[in-house]
Amino acid sequence: LPGLTFLGIESSCDDSAAAIVRMNDRAEILSSVVEGQVNLHAEFGGVVPEIAARAHAERLDGCVERAMAEAGVSFAELDGIAVTAGPGLIGGVLSGVMLAKGLAAGTGLPLIGVNHLAGHALTPRLTDGLPFPYLMLLVSGGHCQFLIVSGPDSFRRIGGTIDDAPGEAFDKTAKLLGLPQPGGPAVEAEAALGNPARFVFPRPLLDKPGCDMSFSGLKTALLRTRDTVIAEKGGLTKADRRDLCAGFQTAMVGVLEEKTRRALEVYLEASPAVPALAVAGGVAANTAVRTALEDVCAKASVRFLAPPLRLCTDNAAMIAYAGLERFQMGLRDDANLSARPRWPL
Ligand code: KG4
Ligand code: ZN
């Protein structure tokens, strides 16, 4: 095969995934297999680490086999194996790292450990060949940060949440209002039908300089308002629920919008030749969030990029791609590669 071909393996949260990515003058996803576990964890209202670890251990082999078969690629045609080595739930990360080490030892292929966040942060290069340096807003169920990405191994964090991640806040809001999980899509659907002006929720840290965010107060305010409504009326009507969702989402979008404006200012200080903001993470699926960010970018004459949703959320194509970029820089790991539950970029 011409170019470089990598297998990627991802198992840091609740998706078991494997993918084959080939890099010529541009990157091409030959296959991307993702097996979610939402149904396994649904009854517990959150990801249960032990259940996730067991599911990864049982499924990852099959994901790799499927990814290779769908791409029509054999181990002899691969140039390397990339695996998420953290951060994440340690049992799952370990499953992936052990599998990748075994495959690398058995085939003699180079092994590359990838930071899951770097995988997300490099995705706009995989999808659009975006040149460095760009600003990345990562907004998922577990993460929320602004990164100036200036190389495959070069990330400057200029702000982020000091408590909950936005997706987590969406999920908790859904739980408090009796809506299904994952909460983001459910809350978005309700919010679209609600009155955003009826309940006005706090927008923490907007009065403070910088790009840090906080969302735990928003959740507490929502809980308190919900309980006040219930105390007054004996329960929540459909309209109450919709208005609470609309108020919550409006506050969330307001914070992300204003902090993005500030993050862009910091990023633009370095006068990038082709200024761009890219998003990644499940919350980037939210239309209100996307529209607000598009707007901020348009006003600042900055290109806005949102990769397709299946590449915004957890997947192994981003891990294979990040591995390829590291490999091309000459970076390698070996059998000592360790799984890291915490690993800031
Ligand atoms: O990136 P992701 O698939 O997983 C990780 O957290 O790593 O993100 C999942 C999160 C969940 O919290 C989910 O509720 C949220 O993204 N999400 C949304 C929407 N779709 C998914 N949040 C708001 N609006 C949405 N439409
Ligand atoms: Zn992720």
Ligand nearest to the CA of 123: 2
- How far from chain centre, in Å, is Cα 83? 16
CA–CA separation, 120 and 131 (whole Å): 15
Architecture of domain 134-309: 2-Layer Sandwich (3.30)
pLDDT class for 65, splitting at 50, 70, 90?
A: very high
If you average pLDDT over every residue of the chain, what do you get? 95
* 79 marked ligand binding residue: no
- Give the range with max mean pLDDT: 31-40, 43-52, 315-324: 315-324
Same fold, 4-129+311-328 and 134-309: yes
Tell me how far CA of residue 162 lies from CA of 5, 41, 166, 208, 224, in angstroms: 38, 26, 11, 13, 21
In the reported structure, the alpha carbon of residue 198 is separated from the centroid of ligand 2 by a whole-number distance in angstroms of 34
pLDDT score recorded for residue 181: 85
62 annotated as belonging to a binding site for a ligand? no
What confidence category does residue 42 fall into, taking pLDDT thresholds of 50, 70 and 90?
A: confident
In the reported structure, the alpha carbon of residue 308 is separated from the centroid of ligand 2 by a whole-number distance in angstroms of 14
Atom 10, ligand 1: residue with shortest CA distance: 141
What pLDDT digit, counting tens, does each position of 285-332 carry?
999 999 999 999 999 999 999 999 999 999 999 999 999 999 999 999
Query: What is the average per-residue pLDDT within 133-151?
Result: 96
pLDDT of 1 higher than 70:
no
Note the pLDDT of residue 2.
65
Q: Does 150 appear as a known binding residue?
A: no
Q: Which range is least confidently modeled, 32-36, 104-108, 179-183, 229-233?
A: 179-183
Q: What string of H, E and C letters represents the secondary structure of the chain? A: CCCEEEEEEECCCCEEEEEEEEECCCEEEEEEEEEECHHHHHHHCCCCHHHHHHHHHHHHHHHHHHHHHHHCCCHHHCCEEEEEEECCCHHHHHHHHHHHHHHHHHHCCCEEEEEHHHHHHHHHHHHHCCCCCEEEEEECCCCEEEEEEEECCEEEEEEEECCCCHHHHHHHHHHHCCCCCCHHHHHHHHHCCCCCCCCCCCCCCCCCCCCCECCHHHHHHHHHHHHHHHHHHCCCCHHHHHHHHHHHHHHHHHHHHHHHHHHHHHHHCCCCCCCEEEEECHHHHCHHHHHHHHHHHHHCCCEEECCCHHHHCCCCHHHHHHHHHHHHCCCCECCCCCCCCCCCC
Q: Which of 181, 283, 318 to mutate to test the pocket of ligand 1 (most atoms within 8 A of CB)?
A: 283
Q: Where are the domains of the chain?
A: 4-129+311-328, 134-309
Task: Read off the pLDDT of each residue in 214-242 and give the average, rounded to a whole number.
Answer: 96
Residues with CB under 6 A from ligand 1: 13, 140-142, 167, 170-171, 182-185, 188, 281-283, 285-286, 313-314
Over residues 252-264, mean pLDDT = 97
CB 9 within 8 A of CB 96: yes
Position 184 scores a pLDDT of 96
Q: Determine the Cα–Cα distance for residues 42 and 39; give it in Å rounded to an integer.
A: 5
What pLDDT, on the 0 to 100 scale, is given for residue 14?
86
- Do the annotations mark residue 286 as ligand-binding? yes
Give residue 44's pLDDT band: very low, low, confident or very high (50, 70, 90): confident
Report how far ligand 1's centroid is from the alpha carbon of 270 (Å).
31
Q: Which of 179-183, 188-192, 314-318 has the lowest mean pLDDT?
A: 179-183
Contact by Cβ (8 Å): 30, 71: yes
120 is annotated as contributing to ligand binding: yes
Q: For 265-282, how does the pLDDT look when each residue is reduced to its tens digit (9 = 90+)?
A: 999 999 999 999 999 999
Say if CB 14 and CB 25 are below 8 A apart: no
> Which class for 87: exposed (0-12), middle (13-18), buried (19 or more C-beta within 10 A)?
buried
pLDDT, mean of residues 166-183: 94
4-129+311-328: CATH topology is Nucleotidyltransferase; domain 5 (3.30.420)
Among 35, 170, 253, 318, the mutation site with the greatest number of ligand 1 atoms within 8 A of its Cβ is 170
Ligand nearest to C-alpha 186: 1
